[in-house]
Structure formats: C-alpha cells, structure tokens
A = this chain, B = another copy of it.
C-alpha cells in the first residue's frame, strides 16, 4: 500500500469521525460505527488515533478553529461605516453558520460535557477576538457621541446578534415542528431569518428620530 493510500485511509477515518461526532456527540458516537463508515477495521482507528478521546480531540480542535473564525467574521470590515460594518458582520456570520449548521450545538454540548475544555476554547477564541471587541467598543462609543447610534455595551450587542443568528440553527428541528409551514423551504427560511437578524439589530442600534 502506497503512502497516498495510507493518507486516504487516515483521512477517511477523520471524515467519518467528523460526521459521527458532529451528529451524535462524543457520548453517542461509536468507534466501530466510525470505522465501518470509513470502510476500515476498527483496529485501524486505534492504530492511527490511539483512543476515541484522541480522535475526538482532533475533530474538536478543528471545530474550535471554525468557531473562532466565525467570531472573526462577525466583526466585519473596520473600514466600513459602523452600521454597514455591523450589517456585514451579521451577514458574514450567518453565512458561516449556513455552511456549518451543526457547529454551535456541537461546541456547546461538548464544552458543557467536559468543562475542562473551556480553557482550550478561551485560548482559541478570546485571545483573537478580545482586542477586536475592545476596538469595536471604541467605534461604537464614538458613533454614539456623534448621535449616530444608541450607546451600547458591545458585548450585549454581540449577544443580541449571536442569539438571533445562532438559535434558528440550534433549534431548527424544534422550530420545524412548531412553525412547519414557515420552515418548509429550508433555504428560504434561513434567508428570511438572516434579513430579520439585520433588521432587528439595526433597529436596536439606530436612534429613534425625534420630532
């Protein structure tokens, strides 16, 4: 067997593991199912990755990086005017979620199941985004002083935004049961939600015009 074919097998395991872990979580995933889906004996899985735990860490790290990049996306282009920038951030972030709809649920569940992983996450995300959030807070304050927007804590704004963007993905199967007619066309539903996120955040930020 050539080197290329070896890499293919290892890759196949990683791919199958990603699928299994993302949909069933660590506890629900079975190493035998992963091996079977990858088309290899389950001994191979242990040969390449030692333990279920270590294989999982590979996937988790990958997804943590994705999570971090989604937090970067939300910040938008700092050269744009503030409101345009935030609108762009919302759209970027939402599009990122459309490409990775099960990402939030996976991260949340696994961080809660193993709180010791919170440290990894803090390092992965906070260090990258912390200074950028601070920068955005400055820009917000300036715009507020000029009367362009309401004065707001950037963290509260981010939470509003993340809530509106993330929950439809997190709770899709539940929403689908309650508002089935609304979600029938999945693509259209998410496009509508994206627009609604923008609208709601813009209204949260814009100063009401007084007479």
Footprint of B on A, CB under 8 Å?
Answer: 24-25, 27-28, 71, 104-105, 107-109, 111-113, 115, 118, 121-122, 125-126, 129, 153, 155-156, 158-160, 162-164, 166-168, 170-171, 173-179, 182, 192-193, 196, 199-200, 203-204, 206, 208-211
**Nearest chain B CB to A211 CB, angstrom units:** 6
Which of B108, B111, B173, B209 is within 8 Å of A115, CB to CB?
B173
Contact A175 B159 (CB under 8 A): yes
Q: Chain copies in the assembly?
A: 2
Which of B118, B166, B173 is within 8 Å of A111, CB to CB?
B173
Q: How far is the CA of A111 from the CA of B81 in the complex (A)?
A: 42
Q: List 21 A-B contacts (CB under 8 A).
A: A24-B27, A24-B113, A105-B112, A107-B174, A108-B174, A111-B173, A121-B174, A125-B178, A126-B178, A155-B179, A156-B193, A158-B179, A159-B168, A159-B193, A160-B196, A163-B166, A163-B168, A170-B170, A199-B204, A200-B200, A203-B204
Contact A129 B178 (CB under 8 A): yes
Q: How far is the CA of A115 from the CA of B112 in the complex (A)?
A: 23
Q: What is the chain B residue whose CB lies nearest that of A109?
A: B109
Which of B28, B107, B178, B203 is within 8 Å of A27, CB to CB?
B28
Contact B113 A170 (CB under 8 A): no
**Nearest chain B CB to A155 CB, angstrom units:** 5
If the complex has contacts A27-B24, A28-B27, A167-B162, are A108 and B105 also in contact, measured as CB distance less than 8 A?
yes
Q: How far is the CA of A111 from the CA of B112 in the complex (A)?
A: 18
Residues of B within 8 A of A158 (CB): 179
